[in-house]
A = this chain, B = another copy of it.
Amino acid sequence: MKKIKVGVAGYGTIGQRLADGVALQEDMELVGIADLAPTLSIQALRERDMVGAGGVKYDLYLVDGADPLAFAKKDIPVAGSFEDLCKKVDIMLDSAPGGVGAKNKENYYEKYGVKAVFQGGEQNSVADVFFHGYANYEKGVGADYLKLTSCNTTGLIRTVDCLDREIGIEKVAITIIRRVADPGDYHRGLTNALQMDKAPTHQAVDLMTIMPHVDATGILVHTPVTHGHIITVLATAKDGRKITKEEALEAFRKHPRIRVVSLEEGFKGNASFFKYARDLGNRRGDMYEIGLWEDSIVESGNDIMYAINIPQESVTIPETMDAIRAATKMQMTREEGTAATNQYLGIGKFKDLK
């Protein structure tokens, strides 16, 4: 089988994990990664002889403006320019800083006929399709430019789409309790303060773009923590139908990318998921599934309310793999596309345990 050739532009928090994700897909080939400076993450790669997930070699290409000497001084091997990388790949995962992706498209992707999947920082207009692996896979099939939903929206939609397919959803109201920085971030932070955003929060608006038949709104509050967002969701079914706790729980339990957990088991909050992922031995302490607390589910009249945990660094990786599959027509349906991603990332195996 011919493997799809994939590049990753930007080796930051998301880019590293995209590269790892691709390295684990046995039907894809990670051609290389591209970045601007010898960051700590690249120095770490160098310390491991440029070998990443699954024992795969990560060849490094330099984007425009990079100083080759800075890399040479640290003995970091370079495989070529970003343009060189573009010539070799079928599709680029663009996790460059916001705005750079649009320029990359103009300068390189269009020129070399490279498809691209952009991350949440780009404008929606950069892409033909605003994509989510479970909610609108088919829209992405064969598309040239896809933009992925952001971390919160990706996790949120998993649950709303899940309920929608089982029950039919017409309205959601969300409260996002957002982690303000990632572990190791020194360029942003918040100290002993909660911070309000102007409502409605963009994640609700984005959900409506992906699922236009659902009315969504919500409020976002930033909190001074690093290990995972928590979102509370109030979902209203179509046609005045009541949603019971039992049927919601049953639906969530079947979804491969949702881990239903409980306080009793020891999942006390967002930090428990991070600890659990480290204890699992997961690379970087990452988790691809979102968490959903069984003991958070409550009925509010006919509506259902629940709380989920979003591992912000890694949650979008599976849906980005889905996006590659859709764009390159590796699989034509959501069932096949997501199943292939799940298999290679080891998602959903925990379901058999319980």
Contact = CB atoms under 8 A, between A and B. Distances in A.
B183 A236 contact: no
Which residue of A188, A272, A350 has the most chain B CB atoms within 10 A of its CB atom?
A272
A295 B220 CA distance: 12
Contacts of A171: 300-301
Nearest to A222: B269
Nearest to A51: B281
A266 B217 CA distance: 24
A305 B173 contact: yes
Main secondary structure of the interface of A (DSSP, over half): mixed
Interface size range of chain A in the complex: 35 or more
A312 interface: no
B47 A353 contact: yes
A161 to B, nearest CB: 19
Contacts of A283: 281
Which residue of A47, A195, A232, A280 has the most chain B CB atoms within 10 A of its CB atom?
A232
Given A16-B279, A191-B185, A219-B298, A196 B303 contact: no
A188 B44 CA distance: 28
A219 B186 contact: no
A185 B227 CA distance: 12
A198 interface: yes
Given A40-B275, A184-B276, 9 more contacts: A44-B276, A44-B279, A48-B281, A184-B271, A185-B191, A193-B268, A194-B271, A219-B296, A284-B285
Interface of A: 16, 39-41, 43-48, 52-53, 75, 171, 173, 175, 177, 179-181, 183-186, 188-196, 198-200, 215, 217-219, 221-228, 230, 232, 234, 236, 263, 265-272, 274-276, 278-281, 283-285, 293, 295-301, 303, 305-307, 349-350, 353
